[in-house]
Amino acid sequence: MLRGEELALVAAAPHRPLAACHVLSGLLGAAEGAGHLDSTARARLEADVSAMSQALGACEKVRGSCREVEKVLTGMPHMVYAGL
């Protein structure tokens, strides 16, 4: 779905999944402006992009939580060895 400059923007971004959401949203706006999408279709597609963005955020929170747990367990090796 992404081409040329959009693909390059996403590839160069520090957080590519979030950048892809941003680019997709921009493409939807451009498609609506060009008359290829009506406002209802754009709203539905924007909701999908938003859901994807929220899912990405949830994954980041889980990944961050796992890192925090790992730090705690690394600092307490006696608990790891005891099976706690």
Position 71 scores a pLDDT of 60
Chunked mean pLDDT (size 10), the chain, 84 residues = 84 88 92 95 92 83 66 51 42
Specify whether the CB–CB gap between 35 and 3 falls below 8 A: no
Residues 65 and 72 sit within 8 Å (Cβ to Cβ)? no
Return the pLDDT at 15.
Answer: 85
Q: Are 31 and 21 in contact (CB under 8 A)?
A: no
Query: What are the residues whose beta carbons fall under 8 Å from the beta carbon of 52, sequence distance 6 or more?
Result: 17, 21
Q: Write the DSSP assignment of 32-51 as a string of letters.
A: HHTTSS-HHHHHHHHHHHHH
